[in-house]
Amino acid sequence: MLDIQNLQVIFGTGRLQVQAVKNASFHVEAGESYGLVGESGSGKSTVLRAICGLAPISGGHVRVDGKEVTTPRGKAFYRTIQMVFQDPYASLHPRHTVDRTLSEPLAIHGVKDAETRILQALREVGLGPSFRFRYPHQLSGGQRQRIAIARALILRPKVLLLDEPTSALDASVQAEVLNLLEDLRHKMGLTYILVSHDLAVVAHLCQRLLVMRNGESIEETTSAALRSGQASNSYTQSLIEASQGFSRDAPQPASSLAT
């Protein structure tokens, strides 16, 4: 479905040049859920943004269904791949009602039965028609993220790029959104690429994942391996340990981790 090879992303020029992604390669099968894990500055979100055209592809290949993507991406691309952003407070237009937010993609792509599609989209993400004319400030964080998911799904894409979809939410709301995402994937046969700093979230939603650090892929592993604590790379190992909570017994030398 999606094939990324030696992807490079470079921002700026000259002295201000930043190599956000140095080298990343992975392959995602149709219907699969793939995870990208790393800390801030690892370039995991930039990979997503490069796939959908929000960041430049400076080197390497991004292929969707075997075809190299074009810049700028065409409308057909956006009907295939959609994205959900991290912060539901920033990803909805503050002056647009839910109705307007959901009807915009339909209007852009000239979809006819907007009325039924909007109501259906709301139903799919577990919200009733009473939410249709609300403004974002009348919604909770979890409800906003559901609207963002509904917006991404309303064009019936095959691939959903999820950029930390639950990290701005409370734990109990996170559980609801994760369940919803899993449910939708099974029902619609979607392909996910999930970016997160939280190993547990990635392991919950994905079968395979790529650990990234400083713009490079460190290792590709499976969530089963993570669960059993197997990691060939010491950095992955330290991420696993840190995700278990604070521990007084094993003080690590600070210099090995901070960069």
Partner 1 sequence: MTKPLLEVEDLRVRFHLRTGTVEAVRGVSFQLGRERLGIVGESGSGKSQTGRAILGLTPPPGEVLAKRLTFDGIDLLTASKRTLRTLRGGRISMVMQDPKYSLNPVMTIGEQIIEAYQAHVKASRAEAHDRALAMLEAVKMRDPGRVFALYPHEVSGGMGQRAMIAMMLVTEPDLLIADEPTSALDVTVSMEILRILDEFVSERGMGLIFISHDLKLVSSFCNRVLVMYAGRVVEELEAKHLREAKHPYTQGLMRCLPTLADDVHPLPTLNRDPSWAL
Partner 2 sequence: MAGAPSLSQPSGWRAWLLSPEPGSRWQARLGRFYLGWRSFTRNPLAVMGLGVVVLLILVAIFADFIAPYSPVIGGDLRTQRLLPPSETYWFGTDDQARDIFSRVIYGSRITLWVIVLVALIATPIGLLVGTVAGYLGGWVDTVLMRITDIFLAFPRLILALAFVAALGPGIENAVIAIAITSWPPYARIARAETLTIRNSDFIAAVKLQGASTPRIILGHVVPLCLSSLIVRVTLDMAGIILTAAGLGFLGLGAQPPMPEWGAMVATGRNYLIDQWWVAAMPGLAIFVVSLGFNLLGDGLRDVLDPKAAK
List of residues contacting partner 2 (CB under 8 A): 52-54, 73-75, 77-79, 82-83, 85-87, 90-97, 99, 104-105, 108-109, 130-131, 133-135, 138, 148, 151, 155
Q: Determine the Cα–Cα distance for residues 158 and 121; give it in Å rounded to an integer.
A: 15
Cross-strand bridge partners of residue 81: 159
16 in contact with partner 1 (CB under 8 A): no
- Which among partner 1, partner 2, none contacts residue 52 (Cβ within 5 to 8 A by kind)? partner 2
For strands 208-213 and 159-163, give the pairing. unpaired
Residue 135 interacting entry, from partner 2, partner 1, none, C-beta within 5 to 8 Å by type: partner 2
E strand or H helix that includes residue 79: helix 75-80
Q: Does 254 contact partner 1 by CB under 8 A?
A: yes
Residue 231 binding: pick among partner 2, partner 1, none (C-beta 5-8 Å cut-off by kind):
none
172 binds, among partner 1, partner 2, none (CB under 5 to 8 A by kind): partner 1
Residue 252 is given by DSSP the state P
Dist. CA 177–CA 23, nearest whole Å = 31
Among the listed residues 143, 174, 221, 236, the single contact to partner 1 using CB under 8 A? 174
- Residue 72 binds partner 1 (CB under 8 A): no
Residue among 18, 19, 17 at smallest CA distance from 8:
19
How many residues are recorded in the chain? Answer: 259
For 202, other C-beta atoms within 10 Å of its C-beta total 23
Taking alpha carbons only, the member of 144, 149, 223, 147 closest to residue 190 is: 149
170 binds, among partner 1, partner 2, none (CB under 5 to 8 A by kind): partner 1
> What residues contact residue 27 under an 8 Å CB cut-off, 6+ apart?
2, 3, 4
> Which of 111, 119, 175, 188: binder of partner 1 (CB under 8 A)?
175
**Which of partner 1, partner 2, none is residue 63 near (CB under 5 to 8 Å by kind)?**
none
Total site size for partner 1, rule CB under 8 A: 39
Q: How far is the CB of 127 from partner 1 (least distance, A)?
A: 15
In which region does residue 25 sit, left (phi positive, over 0), alpha (psi from -120 to 50) or beta (all else)? beta
Question: Scanning residues 181 to 210, which ones bind partner 1 (CB under 8 A)?
Answer: 182-183, 197, 199-201, 203-204
Q: Is 36 in the site for partner 1 (CB under 8 A)?
A: no
66 scored as a contact of partner 1 (CB under 8 A): no
**95 binding partner 1? (CB under 8 A):** no
Please report how the helices 98-108 and 114-124 are oriented relative to each other, as an axis angle in degrees rounded to 10.
120
What would the two tokens of residue 87 be?
A: 């912060």
